[in-house]
Amino acid sequence: MRKARPDDWPDIAGLNQRARRVLPQLWWWEEHLADDLFIVVERKGIVAGVLFAWPDESPVAWVRLAALDDALDAGEWLDLALPPVLEGLRRRGTRRLAWMDYGGWVGPYLEARGFKPLTEVVTLVKFDRALPDKNAVGVRLRPASDADIPAVVAVDRAAFTPHWWHSETTMRRRAAVASHFAVAEMAGEVAGYAEGELRLPKAHLNRIAVHPAYQGRGIGTLLLRDALRAFWRSGAEQVTLNTQADNRYSQRLYRRFGFEPTGDAVTVWELQL
């Protein structure tokens, strides 16, 4: 077991491609290869397991990269890689570590090491083009600009628990690749936003958020309707999104729009540090 090095990139990329026990590549892990939160486990000089966590300017860190070879036991891998990651997080003042268990392969091992289930993230899909008819008075929708990023991040921090916060850097990266990124203005203030991307014939709404001070005024409905229309204009035949199974507010909104569960669910595990 050791810290990752920049010259590990080819071996880690290869492990990510061949491993069956792996997280989806949703983070820019290549930029952190010299970080003390990036741990490599070797077997006979070959990279057989990796673990990387990052807090992204939040008191809650997420496991951003996890992969292990078939020959490596998951419990052994965790016992080697997890302690130095936790030590590094504690030095940074991080209070919790969250892990999204894609594929369900690591949950039992996490539970045995003190992790607790936090929530389930479920996937919903919409095939039809029916839309509810509701207007929000005094709300203006427009494309987001770089100047909006601080206000968008402030909406995130007001609307969500720290588990779901994005830093300004991450939000700018999201904006750079998003097919749709719109903000809702009310009284000159950014009251909410919606962001998603196209992967034709599908589109995925990555996030929609409304500041608590402006909730209950139809802004979420307006943002979602606008995003769906933008996706359809671009050729999307179906639209998916993720939400927490216990988020009743969002579930109610999505049901009104005709979204239905796909049956896919991912357990989120959490460890208090």
pLDDT digits (tens, 9 = 90+) for 242-267: 999 999 889 999 999 999 999 999 99
Same domain, residue pair 142 and 256:
yes
| CA–CA dist 221, 250 (Å, integer) | 10
Residue 45 has pLDDT above 90, yes or no: no
Confidence band of 134 (pLDDT split at 50, 70, 90): confident
* Containing structural domain, residue 216: 124-266
Q: Are 53 and 64 in contact (CB under 8 A)?
A: yes
In a domain, 188, yes or no: yes
In a domain, 10, yes or no: yes
In a domain, 238, yes or no: yes
**Could you tell me the CATH number of the domain that includes residue 96?**
3.40.630.30
Burial (CB < 10 A; 0-12, 13-18, 19+), residue 79, is middle
The distance in angstroms from the start CA to the end CA of the chain is 22
In a domain, 194, yes or no: yes
Which tokens is 181 given?
């990124």
Domain count across the chain: 2
Which one of 114, 134, 159 terminates a domain?
114
The overall pTM is greater than 0.85 = yes
Same domain, residue pair 109 and 145:
no
| Mean pLDDT over the full length of the chain | 95
In a domain, 78, yes or no: yes
The amino acid occupying position 188 is G
Which one of 96, 114, 132 terminates a domain?
114
What's the average model confidence in pLDDT over 215-220?
A: 92
Question: Residue 31 carries which DSSP code?
Answer: G
- How far from 215 is each of 11, 184, 212, 221, 242, CA to CA, in Å? 47, 12, 5, 10, 20
